Amino acid sequence: MTNNYRVVVHFDGTEYYGWQFQTAEYPTIQAELIRALKIIAKKQVLVTGSSRTDAGVHSSGLTANFHLPVAIEPDSLKRALNSLLPRDIRIMECELMDKSFNARFGAVGKTYVYRIFTGPVQSPFSQRFALHLPYPLDRKAMRRAARHFIGARDFTSFSSDEPGKKKLREIDEFSMRVKGDEITFTVRGKSFLRYMVRNMVGTLIDVGRGKIAAADIPAIFAAKDRRRAGQTAPAKGLTLAKVEYGPAPAAGGAAGVPDQDE
């Protein structure tokens, strides 16, 4: 008899090699959760994450689930995990779920946020979470370019080289908010390819610097060639902000598609 728990994990990804467990010398978020749960459960516990975030990427919404062989009240489990995890990883929500819930396959939508600070001097309180670009950007051109990413597209030109993987993805929202010296991009879709959000934002940065014209974005999509798009924006500006789920699947079932993202 096991119990299935869902947790929402906030983390500062600066010191980690992403979500996915690797060898012991590479600290990851998943490895830290597995370590903490082993202390609680007295055995190795499989932890499933909603997204495989890349090294240096942050989270205020990554969801994970795991099955424990013991019954623990969710608030007690949340406190226990936070007492065992590093201070830059926090469990913000914890609840008991139906056994069929799967954080990876049940996800139906994900929202990423990318932050840029354009002022001359960046505060140390934001330097781990926002890219510093202290030079002029053509924000109107960037807004025009961003519109081209919305909808169903083949994102070959904006993803890493993953042979055999289907590159068709659908973006529901790609918005750009400017407040003073801060630019915030919000990107929402069902699933993402590796480096996809960072490649899109990097291309918009190149548009803002005049290296790429906003009107060239459709041709870059059509080329299906990563070399035609812009730079890969650094990981530090990217945060997985939210993961959405539909109605709980029937026992033994799973909904959605696996993510291969950032």
Q: Is 54 a catalytic residue?
A: yes
Euclidean distance between CA atoms 138 and 210, whole angstroms: 8
SS3 155: coil
Residue with tokens 């993953």: 162
For 84-117, give the DSSP string.
HS-TTEEEEEEEEE-TT--TTTTEEEEEEEEEEE
Q: Which of 12, 54, 259, 261 is catalytic?
A: 54
Q: Is 18 left (phi over 0), alpha (psi -120 to 50) or beta?
A: left
Euclidean distance between CA atoms 49 and 75, whole angstroms: 20
Euclidean distance between CA atoms 208 and 121, whole angstroms: 20
1 burial via Cβ count (<10 Å: 0-12, 13-18, 19+): exposed
Kind of pairing, strands 58-68 and 131-132? unpaired
Residues tagged active-site: 54
